């Protein structure tokens, strides 16, 4: 245990702690991140909280709302996804939503306290005719005073620039897992395909939202490697969603057992330490979390959440429950 602590001390030596000058790390090794995971739980939380307080208000949580603007019928084979056309999940395929309905949903989200509005479409990549409609949605939602985010799959050349010109703030494209485990989750495209889209987004001047899903049968080593890949991008993502798998009946991962909740919190803490200036977001799976578990995640450095009753096709925590938790904890929505 002393060897683990010593390794973790070396890891966090360049991270932000009280009364120390902030020093940004450029590269993380897998061994360093695994050393974080191996720390005693209380030690890891303490270190993550100290890093968090150097960069953020520890009592402020950013709220995002996610809307499925085009549901079902996706050609990809992501083993966790209810929207893949390859699996029988009883999900009805829907057309792209009209712009006015999307804007109305965005206004409602803003009225309820969201500051960012995310629009997701079940595509491998957007067709140009569909992209034009999405660009209009981005412009209209931006005009409401909300931050805008879309997740549309893999982008073709020139599409990121069009999204930037429309006023898009964030593009979400999760790595899902590390490169080694990726082929056990998705086979219809590669891990490098995802990295290529992230590079296009970054080159266009759009902020990156990218994280992953844990609880898919991956090892701790895979989880740590995913964080290494995210943290070691030329610039870490501004937003890092950490999803806890919601098993969907009919998908290959529909009957996987739940992940140890403390392992989920450890992943939040490791994400905070390795990406100290990023927003770390509690994403899918929050409905199944107790108030106490969510509070541990906030203590570990999560400072963003999806807010609203629906996440694309899966349920999310009730808004009234979230508001009550914020009041009980003295948290402030931003």
**Mind telling me the catalytic residues?**
74, 78, 81, 118, 149, 209, 281
Residue 136 parent element (H or E):
helix 128-143
* 216 contacts 187 by C-beta, under 8 angstroms: no
* 210 contacts 197 by C-beta, under 8 angstroms: no
* CA nearest neighbour of 66 among 271, 305, 324, 237: 305
What distance lies between CA 222 and its chain's CA centroid? 17
Can you tell me the distance from the alpha carbon of 6 to that of 23, in angstroms, rounded to the nearest whole number? 19
Can you tell me the distance from the alpha carbon of 302 to that of 82, in angstroms, rounded to the nearest whole number? 26
Buried b (16+ CB within 10 A) or exposed e, 90-107: ebeeeebbebeebbebbe
* 205 contacts 164 by C-beta, under 8 angstroms: yes
CB within 8 A of 20, min separation 6: which ones?
none
Can you tell me the distance from the alpha carbon of 238 to that of 224, in angstroms, rounded to the nearest whole number? 19
What Cα–Cα distance (Å) separates residue 165 from each residue in 205, 206, 207?
Answer: 10, 10, 13
Can you tell me the distance from the alpha carbon of 241 to that of 113, in angstroms, rounded to the nearest whole number? 19
Can you tell me the distance from the alpha carbon of 71 to that of 312, in angstroms, rounded to the nearest whole number? 8
Can you tell me the distance from the alpha carbon of 277 to that of 214, in angstroms, rounded to the nearest whole number? 22
Can you tell me the distance from the alpha carbon of 301 to that of 36, in angstroms, rounded to the nearest whole number? 14
């Amino acid at each position: 245990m002393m060897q683990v602590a010593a390794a973790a001390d070396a890891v966090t030596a360049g991270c932000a702690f009280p009364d120390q000058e902030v020093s940004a790390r450029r590269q993380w090794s897998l061994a360093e991140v695994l050393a974080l995971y191996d720390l005693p739980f209380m030690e890891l939380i303490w270190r993550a909280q100290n890093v968090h307080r150097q960069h953020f208000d520890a009592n402020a949580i950013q709220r995002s709302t996610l809307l499925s603007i085009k549901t079902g019928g996706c050609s990809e084979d992501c083993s966790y996804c209810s929207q893949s056309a390859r699996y029988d999940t009883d999900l009805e395929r829907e057309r792209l939503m009209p712009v006015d309905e999307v804007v109305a949903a965005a206004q409602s989200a803003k009225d309820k306290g969201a500051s960012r509005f995310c629009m997701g479409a079940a595509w491998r990549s957007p067709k140009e005719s569909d992209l034009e409609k999405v660009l209009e949605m981005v412009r209209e939602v931006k005009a409401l005073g909300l931050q805008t985010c879309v997740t549309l799959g893999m982008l073709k050349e020139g599409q990121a620039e069009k999204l930037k010109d429309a006023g898009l703030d964030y593009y979400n494209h999760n790595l899902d897992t590390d490169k080694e485990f990726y082929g056990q989750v998705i086979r219809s495209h590669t891990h490098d395909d995802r990295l290529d889209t992230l590079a296009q987004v970054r080159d266009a001047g759009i902020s990156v939202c990218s994280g992953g899903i844990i609880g898919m049968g991956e090892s701790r080593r895979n989880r740590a490697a995913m964080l290494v890949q995210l943290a070691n991008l030329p610039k870490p993502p501004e937003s890092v969603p950490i999803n806890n798998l919601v098993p969907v009946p009919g998908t290959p991962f529909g009957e996987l057992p739940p992940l140890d909740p403390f392992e989920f919190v450890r992943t939040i803490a490791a994400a905070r330490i390795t990406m100290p200036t990023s927003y770390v977001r509690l994403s899918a799976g929050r409905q199944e979390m107790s108030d106490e578990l969510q509070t541990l995640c906030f203590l570990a450095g999560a400072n963003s959440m999806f807010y609203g009753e629906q996440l694309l096709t899966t349920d999310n925590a009730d808004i009234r429950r979230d508001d009550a938790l914020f009041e009980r904890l003295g948290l402030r929505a931003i």
